[in-house]
Amino acid sequence: MRVAILGGTGDIGEGLALRWAYHTSHDIVIGSRDPQRARSKAEEYETELSSRGAETTIAAAANAEAAAGADVVVAAVPAYHLADTIEQVEEGLDGETVLVSPAVGMQRDESGMHYNRPGAGSVTALAADAAPDDVAVVGAFHNLAADELANLDIDLSLDAILVGDDEDAVDRVELLADGIDGIRALRAGSIDNAAEVESLTPLLINLAMHNDELHDVGVRFE
């Protein structure tokens, strides 16, 4: 599968790129607004992988070029850039593309981190609204522990929760998620259920703040 990670220079994008390149045979392309930055991060990831004996090529391009022709496009950008990013790349998306939204809108106050629910109902719903009608959107990878994900020394034991209205699209993302050793994909229904998934991210941050043993925390449902 060809997987484009827009915002693949950020922390969750980095972790997904490294893990997919390391654990699977998918073709990974890093997208960024700045293609030079995408290229330099892709080389950094290649060096990291090579140091572990994985001689893998990671492509790099500007976001629009990265997205064109990808089977899955992961919009690993902050929630406030999501609609703009989708608009930049939409010419390259079609009925064959699955767009994945891992972004969460959050707001910090003196108590901690809070879910900032968008008017669309969730950030995933916002992505679905911004995407062309024939592009299936799946919410996923909101709640992974980013530092653990990007550290290939760590054996993961994390759940990735998926929401989406198109079962085939969710199946494709499930395959991608399950392809990473130590990640288990779980389904939480349609995009209407995304807010409860996204709300988990600020909770994880609050738990990390208040519990010494949970610096970079993910979740397992059992």
Q: Does 154 bind its own copies (CB under 8 A)?
A: no
Q: Which of 191, 199, 203 is nearest to 167 (CA)?
A: 191
The set of residues, in sequence order, having a beta carbon less than 8 Å from that of 176 and lying 6+ positions away, is: 1, 3, 20, 24, 26, 72
Residue among 55 and 210 whose Cβ is closer to its own copies: 210
Reported for 174-177, long-range contacts at CB under 8 A and 24+ positions apart, including other chains, are 175/1, 176/1, 176/3, 176/20, 176/24, 176/26, 176/72, 177/140, 177/141
> What are 39's two structure tokens?
């290229």
Residue among 9 and 124 whose Cβ is closer to its own copies: 124
Tokens 């910090």 label which residue? 108
Among 161, 169, 173, 183, binds its own copies (CB under 8 A): 161
Q: Residue 173 CB, nearest distance to its own copies (Å)?
A: 14
Q: Does 39 bind its own copies (CB under 8 A)?
A: no
Sheet arrangement for strand 72-75:
59-62, 27-32, 2-6, 72-75, 98-101, 136-139, 158-164, 183-187
**Which alpha helices (DSSP H) does 51-97 contain, by range?**
63-67, 79-89
Among 87, 178, 209, 215, binds its own copies (CB under 8 A): 209
Q: Does 119 bind its own copies (CB under 8 A)?
A: no
Q: Does 196 bind its own copies (CB under 8 A)?
A: yes
Neighbours of 76 (CB within 10 A): 28
Residue among 36 and 211 whose Cβ is closer to its own copies: 211
Among 26, 33, 39, 114, binds its own copies (CB under 8 A): 114
User: CA 140 to CA 194: how far, in whole Å?
Assistant: 9
Q: Does 214 bind its own copies (CB under 8 A)?
A: yes
Q: Does 33 bind its own copies (CB under 8 A)?
A: no
User: CA 209 to CA 69: how far, in whole Å?
Assistant: 41
Q: Residue 21 CB, nearest distance to its own copies (Å)?
A: 25
Among 157, 167, 181, 215, binds its own copies (CB under 8 A): 157
Residue among 24 and 116 whose Cβ is closer to its own copies: 116
Residue among 52 and 108 whose Cβ is closer to its own copies: 108
Footprint of its own copies on this chain (CB under 8 A)?
109, 111-115, 157, 161, 186-190, 192-193, 195-197, 199-200, 202-204, 206-207, 209-211, 214, 217-222
